[in-house]
Structure 1
Amino acid sequence: MKTLIITILMLVFSLISTAQNSVEITMTGFESNEGKAVFGLYSSKENWLEKTFKTLKTEIIEGEATIVFQDLPDGEYAISAFHDEDENGELDMFLGFYPAEDYATSNNAPAKFGPPNWKDAKFELKNGSTEKQKINIF
């Protein structure tokens, strides 16, 4: 009986320690439903706006797009998203430095004289949490 109780406790603790997190993001303010909404999830300051941890694309319906990143380990994350109107999979740039397609970031982090900062866009996930945000197009 003692062995059974210990086994059950070990199972419960292992499930608790491997709880996975998720992020649900709704992007609003699309002027058209053409193209796709592309969401990039970043897992470190070093990779911010350079290399995504995960990427999801979805349809735009009535000016909004919602995605869910699931099964994420504990850590700090940030989201950068854009309206891929021409569906080329890239954020088109004007003159090489100014976005030609609408974009948004987690926490609605501002882009002042350059890209948004990691510290303004980041959020923490831990212990099986779910982060829900509504971000607005710039």
Structure 2
Amino acid sequence: MGGARYFKQDLSPYCKRLKETVALYQNFKPESEFHPNWGIERVLEVLKECGETVEISKNTEGVTVTVQIPNLTSDKGSVVFALYNKETFMKEPLQGVEGKITNKATEVKFENVIPGEYSIICYHDSNENKKLDFSTSGIPSEDWGMSNNPILMGPPSFNSSKFIVENKSVDLTIKF
């Protein structure tokens, strides 16, 4: 931002991005007492320079995201769900949940999700081997889906599946 300010460029894209990082600080939990947990003070200070004021509370509890799949092809196995943000998409999920299948449907809940943008990917682990199986041509041989139910010709993307969590619970339906 210092360079942009020096060259008299518009700071609003930088300010917007900084405002989005506040949610990351609210969700951050250090792995141990020796891991760093600082930085939010500087973000809030720079946001004041942007004319923005944001309050942060490390004790803020998030909301519940409920996900339903109404159209499974069988009651075998389970459905594995992963919640991602943009930074963790297709890498390490923020939360993982396994749903039991009853009458070819399942429902799971992601608890304590803080406001922000997220994506959910899930698959029907019908043979219970804890992984999504693929055919020899590289196409998934087990049913799978993602938030927003995009029609894809290729690998999943965060932007096509993202949804927004605000300060109220979210209900999603994913169809296979």
TM-score, normalised via structure 2 length: 0.63
**What is the CA–CA distance in structure 2 between the aligned matches of 1:96 and 1:21, rounded to whole Å?**
40
The 2-side partners of 1:67 and 1:21 are apart by: 14
Aligned residues: 121
1:47 CA drift (Å): 2.5
Aligned match of 2:38: none
Partner of 1:135: 174
The answer on whether the counterparts of 1:76 and 1:125 sit within 8 Å (CA) in structure 2 is yes
Is 1:33 the counterpart of 2:69? The answer is no
Answer yes or no: is 1:20 the counterpart of 2:62. Answer: yes
Identity %: 28
Shift of residue 27 of structure 1?
1.1
CA RMSD of aligned residues (A): 2.0
Does 2:146 match 1:105?
A: yes
Gaps of 5+ in 1: 1-12
- The CA deviation at 1:19 is 4.1
Q: Which has the larger radius of gyration?
A: 2
Distance 2:116 2:131 in 1: 26
Amino acid at match of 1:135: I
Higher strand share: 1
User: How far apart, CA to CA, are the structure 2 residues paired with 1:83 and 1:117?
Assistant: 19
SS at structure 2 position matched to 1:71: strand
Other-structure match for 1:70 = 111
4+ aligned runs moved over 3 Å, structure 1: none
Partner-residue secondary structure (3-state), 2:159: helix
Partner of 2:159: 119
CA–CA separation in structure 2 for the residues paired with 1:122 and 1:14? 24
Cα distance between partner residues in 2 of 1:39 and 1:31? 17
Alpha-carbon shift at residue 126 of structure 1 (Å): 2.2
Unpaired stretches in structure 2, ≥5 consecutive residues: 1-54
Deviation at 1:97, TM superposition (A): 2.4
User: How many Å apart are 1:116 and its aligned residue?
Assistant: 2.5
1:52 shift after superposition = 1.1
